[in-house]
Each structure stands twice: as structure tokens, then as C-alpha cells.
Amino acid sequence: MITAKEARERALSFLSQQGLEREFIENASVTVDRAEKLIEISREKKPQKILEIGTFVGVSTAVLGLCLPEAQIVCVDADFPVEFQNVLCLKQFEIKNHQQTNLYFVEQLLKHFGILKRFTLKRGFFSCCLANKQELDKAASYGIKLEDRAIIGPEVCEEYGAFDLAFLDGDHRKEAVKQDLMLLSGYIKSGGAIVLDDVGLDYWGREVRQGVEEFLQEHPQKEFKIEGQIGSISI
């Protein structure tokens, strides 16, 4: 059985061969230890149906697909041009122009591994678009209107749910995390789990934790566990 580390490395080397700068991709994708924890939790649940929110160029997507060969996986991403991630990021990278959008690379990657048929790729915001004025301005000067992208989570959950497992790695703002969890939690089967990336002690980790805490205030019976940078909510 392939390990999460091997799967991640295979994804990164394919994406690098496609011309994406490795350091840039790695900055916004799961690290080895997070990929390992994600797969450890996921394998325990033996999921048949998974929902992933936030694919970027597909590193975590490929890890899930390669390590869980029985699972059908639905993925949602806002899907802007890859280079736009560099416009929004706090840390800027020297990258070439990448006009193709995130899901273009996800599709190439999954085709390369021969696992695309187990995936459904959906473009749009999951539960909300909470971009602030600075981000809207940056997007507008880049020629993108963020607010034009549809919110598709409710229809995706209705059409493809309920899921055994969800991996939430989209908008890390606390209000977005809370709204995503409010929507998601209604579509996870009993005994399933929502796994969250970035629950550490840095700026984004604190935002994600606060979003979870606000969600838990309204769902006090749910249990939240933190293991390094990966969190999980049992449903």
C-alpha cells in the first residue's frame, strides 16, 4: 500500500514537471506530516465517499486518491488561475505565468495517476465568499471578480452527500470555517469525520480554531481533536 509520503512526492514531482515551481506549490499544500495524519485518520474511517474543500493544484487530492483506492471523492475549489494564489499569499514567490486554473492541474494529475474516474471536480466557493476589500481590489486589478464565482456547497452536498469523511482546507477565516462546518456537518454520516488542515498556533491556525470553537458552541455534543496541524471533528 502506498504511503502518504510517497503519494505526496509523486504528486509534487508530476506538478513540477508541468512547470509549477515546487517551493510555491509546497507553500500552499499539505506537508508530509499533515498528509500522513490525514491518511491515518481517513484509513480508520474506511470512507467510501469523501468531500474535499480546497484542492489548490491537487497535492492533498492525489494523496487521498492514491492512498484510499476504494473512495469516490468530490472536490470543490474556487478555482482561480494558479498564479493568483501568489497574488493573495502573504509570502510571494518568483514564479512564471500560470494562467491555467487550479482544477486544470488537479485533472492532469489525476489523469496521470489513472484515478480521475473516481473524482468529481467542482468549481465554486463552498459555503461563502468572505473576501475583504483589499482582496477584492487585488483581484480586480488582476482582472478577476471574486464575487462572480457561485457558492456551490449546498447543491454539491445535496447531490453527492452524505459523505463518510470531509477534508476542509479552503478559506481559513474563522467566519468561513464556521459557515463551512455548519453546512458540512449536516452531510457527514454518523461515525464519520471532518478533518481540518492548519489548526496550529500561527495566525491562520488561530483563525481556524476559533471558527471550530464557534461551530462547537452551536454543536456542543461534537468532539474536536487536535494532532499537530491537523484537527478532526467526529460526527
Ligand X SMILES: C[S@@+](CC[C@H](N)C(=O)[O-])C[C@H]1O[C@@H](n2cnc3c(N)ncnc32)[C@H](O)[C@@H]1O
Which positions lie near ligand X, rule CB under 6 A? Answer: 28-30, 53-56, 59-60, 76-78, 102, 125-126, 169-171, 176
Task: With beta carbons less than 8 A apart as the criterion, state whether 134 and 76 touch.
Answer: no
Separation CA 36–CA 63 (nearest Å): 9
Identify the CA nearest to 149 among candidates 175, 119, 170: 170
Work out the end-to-end distance of the chain between its first and last CA atoms, rounded to an integer number of angstroms.
27
Report the residue number, 190 or 215, with the smaller CB distance to ligand X.
215
Give least dist CB 102 to ligand X, A: 5
Determine the residue with CB nearest ligand X. Answer: 54
Residue 69 region by backbone torsions, left for phi larger than 0, else alpha for psi between -120 and 50, else beta: alpha
In whole angstroms, the minimum distance from the beta carbon of 213 to ligand X comes to: 19
Collapsed DSSP state (helix, strand, coil) of residue 123: strand
Choice between 174 and 221, CB closer to ligand X: 174
* C-beta of 78 vs 115, nearer to ligand X: 78
Cell of residue 153, nine digits? 456547497
Q: Name the residue nearer to ligand X (CB basis): 191 or 214.
A: 214
CB of 157 to ligand X, least distance (A): 13
Minimum distance of ligand X from residue 79's CB (angstroms) = 6
Q: Cβ of residue 63: shortest distance to ligand X, in angstroms?
A: 8
Q: Which is nearer to ligand X, 76 or 181 (CB)?
A: 76
Largest CA distance in the chain: 48
